Chain A
Amino acid sequence: MKKLVLFIPLVVFLGMGVFLYKGLFLNPQKLDSALEGKPVPAFQLEVLESGEMVTNETLKGKVGLLNVWATWCPSCKYEHPFLMTLARQDILPIYGINYRDERPLAIRELSREGNPYAINIFDHDGRLGLDLGVYGAPESFLIDHKGIVRYRYAGPIDRTVWQETLYPMVQELQAEAAKDGAS
């Protein structure tokens, strides 16, 4: 009995070790979105280029990718060529949210580097970003045909992320949409 008591510290430590080991493969910086499963927050903002009004209703009807970007964000520049490729493949519409940016700068950047976005929402004061729980650019949200946020990816999208994570989900969501459309 007494002997067993002496093993308690070892057992406690081993238990802790398991968690520390697991912890090595987790990324404490990667946050789950609180919005997954909830509709895109209501908003009414201008389109970047034209100044026309766009609302959350506009995004409904199709599975889409909502991409938060800005000209001040270096990782967005890294991500941009891949978004261009994606836009050419025409799998799903990419909606941009131009986050806390200056309009002329953003327009110039897109005209120089190409514009992958179907609609570009101009979120100058970051209000939509705040409602979406955005904490830095780039961030991307997969939304289904009902306008519900299904997945959030923080960080630049590249081929690997797209093929391994996002594309399978897109296919699933599009299948769902097709089923709803049929019924």
Chain B
Amino acid sequence: MGDAVNTIFINGTEYPFKPGQTVIQVAQENGIDIQHYCYHPGLSIAGNCRICMIEVEGNPQPQISCKLDCAPPPWIKEPLRVQTESEVAKQGREGTMEMLLVNHPLDCPICDQAGECHLQDYSYEVGQGQASTTTAKTKLPKNVPFGSKIVYDAERCIKCTLCVRFCEEITETNELSMQGRGDEEMVVMTSKGEFDTPYSMNIIDICPVGALTSRDFRFKSRLWFMDFANSIDTSSAKGVNIVTGGRNGTFLRIEPRYNASINDWWMADEGRVAYKYVNSPSRLETALVRDADGQFRVANWEDAISAAAEALRSNPGDILLDGGCTLEEMVLAKDLAGAMGKNAKFAAATGEGDGWLVTEEKGANAKGAELLEVARAKRAQAASVLVIEREEHVNASMREKSGAVVVFATDGEHVPESAEVVFPLPSWAEREGTLVNIDGLAQWMERNPAIGPNNLPVFVEILEDLIGELDDDYAWRGADGVRAEIAALPAFAKVALPWQTETPVGAGS
């Protein structure tokens, strides 16, 4: 037997590999980018797009790197030597690219994928700019609905079969299949009926071109006008890593972000559309204080804070928090309640879970609340301060029964009758902070500046100001001071806090 070869030379540098790894995997691990469409680290290897061509020294023809085992055949005792940028490799990719573009429509200006399209990127790198074919492009169906959330364009499709493999291997529902062959090949929904898996929209992300687009997002915005932030899905307690995308104050889309310990590359459709309320026309943008004649009038922050302190002094009571509040906000809410000699409670909905990325618990920070010893509120919880972002956590009857005088609300529709002072609450996408998911993993939620109304006050700062008004001895700590306190709590001794450790960076695409 002897020693098996366990290294490979890529572009002249020697890299170790684990048995079973293919060249593209080792290259990606070491920061060497090889173009690919049909390869996805989370799915089986199909090897049908042919764009990942590399040169294997000693072979006259280029080979695909996604399916090429790093281990040489047993009779060769030398490590493989491959070149990703040599003339042979480049010619291979150029030829493949020309074939991929033979029937691809040139509709980038109206295509939603433009800006994040791999076909666009790679054709910029290895495209010829001039086709050697002169025949007309094949006409195929466009605007084909795949269920109610996805639209398929067979002309843009490059037949990488990623979506088909996703339905076979991840959801195991087999809704999609490849039909036909050659230039008339396309993805079709099989006779099973609706494309209704709750994870269906993941195929939009993995589609390397604009063949699969989201009915929700299409034609809303060009990518390069949008701002993105790494955030956490708050529609469920799993803590799915996401990227929020917004433009000019409008929340436009949510896409999953790789995290090996929670969601890999995927997310549920439920979380993807959980942003609609952020764009509500009845969003609060100013502080409101109730007049002597019972009408709300707009107030500046200082007046509103002193009015709120006044209302709380004459009306001390518990604080009812939305289950999506961050750790920092919960700590300060506890302190505010403490200044009144009361408690902070949180309310969060429960619903159906699927045992994977949708949990029964819907409060994104329910576990964090447990660690901070913030109790779950009763159905009819009397409170003097109400923090309400999501309708489902604190429903209308709970809001009215609370009798809260100071209300932090995202949407003006959610303000109960009893409110004396109302502060606008930025939505989760506009706040930053720490959330602890149901498995006890603390994660950092980034603020997206392109979402929500301008100039909203920072929630934690208003909370601190309120505590300061009620408690003369209060020393301002700031969010960083609060975080230091959280880190010192015994309940958090075993929790890796994201601002202490380096944020895990995904190796996926």
Our verdict on whether A and B bind, yes or no, reads no
B residues with CB within 8 A of A = none
A residues with CB within 8 A of B = none
